Amino acid sequence: MEYNDKQTAIIDIAERLFSVSGFDGTSVRDIANEAGVNVAMISYYFGSKEKLMEAVFEHKSNKMRLKVENLIQDTEMTPIQKIYLLIDEYVEKFLDQKNFHMIMMREQLTDKRTPVSELILELKRRNLESVRMLIHDGQKKGVFKKNIDISMMMGTLIGTVSQMVLSQPFYRKVHGMEELGEQEFRSHIRKKLSIHLKKLFKALLTNEA
Partner DNA sequence: CATGAATGAGGATTCATTCAT
Partner DNA sequence: GATGAATGAATCCTCATTCAT
Q: Which residues bind DNA (CB under 7 A)?
A: 6, 26-30, 37-45, 47-50
- DSSP alpha helices (H): ranges in 74-114? 79-96, 98-109
Tell me whether residue 77 or residue 159 sits nearer to its own copies (CB atom). Answer: 159
- The single-letter code of the amino acid at 28 is V
Q: Residue 33: which residues within 8 A CB-CB, separation 6 or more?
A: none
Distance, CA of 103 to CA of 114 (rounded, Å): 13
Residue 182's Cβ-side half-sphere holds a number of Cα atoms within 13 Å equal to 4
- From its own copies, DNA, none, interface partner of 78 (C-beta below 5 to 8 A by class): none
Binding site for its own copies (CB under 8 A): 19-25, 102, 105-106, 108-112, 121, 124-125, 128, 149, 151-153, 155-156, 158-164, 166-167, 169-171, 173-175, 192-193, 195-196, 199-200, 203-204, 207, 209
Tell me whether residue 77 or residue 134 sits nearer to its own copies (CB atom). Answer: 134
Tell me whether residue 26 or residue 160 sits nearer to DNA (CB atom). Answer: 26
Tell me whether residue 96 or residue 194 sits nearer to its own copies (CB atom). Answer: 194
Distance, CA of 6 to CA of 11 (rounded, Å): 9
- From its own copies, DNA, none, interface partner of 50 (C-beta below 5 to 8 A by class): DNA
Distance, CA of 200 to CA of 83 (rounded, Å): 11
Minimum gap (Å) between residue 192 Cβ and its own copies: 6
Distance, CA of 132 to CA of 108 (rounded, Å): 22
Minimum gap (Å) between residue 199 Cβ and DNA: 44
